Structure 1
Amino acid sequence: MVKKGIKGHGEIVVTAALSAEKMGSGVMDVFATPAMLALMENTAYKSVLPYLNEGCGTVGTKVDIEHIAASPVGMKVECDTELIEVDGRRLVFKVEASDEKGLIGKGTHERFIIESQKFREKTYNKLKKDEE
């Protein structure tokens, strides 16, 4: 059962592929904001996975983050998440990322619990031609 207080931890080493320059979010050779966000989402998702019913997953629906400091290629970045609100299927996480020198990003991230097969079917039905 998913309850407030569930915590997650993730980490990654910044590579050139995760830089703003390579990801197309800027021109600097530093940890890209989209890469930081992906780490935050991944950490939040994995933290609640063991508590979900069989056949269920979560999808990200909202983010409100600040990227407050740059991290160079080669530096380790860690992410910590905490589930701070559960409202039915809606989950809200506090998210923070730090490199070896301190805090680099923080904010909140919202996810929804979904039934994986039903979600897939609904999504891929979009590819079907409309009946005339």
Structure 2
Amino acid sequence: MDTATVTHLVTADDTARALGSGDLDVLATPRVLAWCEEATCAALDLDAAQTSVGTRVDLEHLAASPVGARVTATATVVHTDGRLVRFQVAAHDAGGTLVATGEVRRVVVDRERFLARIAPVGD
């Protein structure tokens, strides 16, 4: 099973107040999700012509983390079906408290073919 972890220190830029997802100076849900997705990308071993795109997220943000907290997000591949990859994700603080848990789904795509299908904005 492929697993990867990323660790970040919560800064003022990571708070709900800074990201507009609330008005408290605690780790914002969108940021903890981004860290979990970062771990999913790190868990994939893709060649240079490939990348992955997120397609579905189910995340429970269970505990508040103040500025200065160290949070580690871990992603583990739990299922693959062709290009679809499902990950179990979890984030813990340095004290071992479960901050967030859930599932992220990503689809592996050919980088150039994917970008070629997107029309530039304003055309």
* TM bucket, shorter chain: over 0.9
Q: Find out whether 1:71 has 2:30 as its counterpart.
A: no
C-alpha distance 128-23 of structure 1, shift in aligned 2 (>3 A): closer
- The Cα of 1:126 is off from its aligned counterpart by 5.2
Residue from 50, 53, 60 that aligns with 2:47: 53
TM-score w.r.t. the length of structure 1 is 0.88
Count of residues in Structure 1 that have an aligned counterpart in Structure 2: 122
- Please, what is the CA RMSD of the aligned residues? 1.2
What SS class does the counterpart of residue 66 from structure 1 fall into? strand
Q: Give the aligned partner of residue 19 of structure 1.
A: 15
1:72 & 1:99 partners in 2: Cα distance? 10
Larger radius of gyration: 1
More helix by share: 1
Post-superposition CA distance 1:45-101 (Å, at most 9, x none): 1110xx223300001110001000000001100011100000110000000001123
Residue of structure 1 in register with 2:104 after alignment: 109
TM-score, normalising length: structure 2:
0.94
SS at match of 2:54: strand
Gaps of 5+ in 2: none
Report the identity percentage: 34
Instruction: Tell me, in whole angstroms, the C-alpha distance in 1 between the residues paired with 2:72 and 2:17.
Output: 21
Distance 2:122 2:28 in 1: 36
Separation (CA, whole Å) in 1 of partners of 2:112 and 2:122: 17
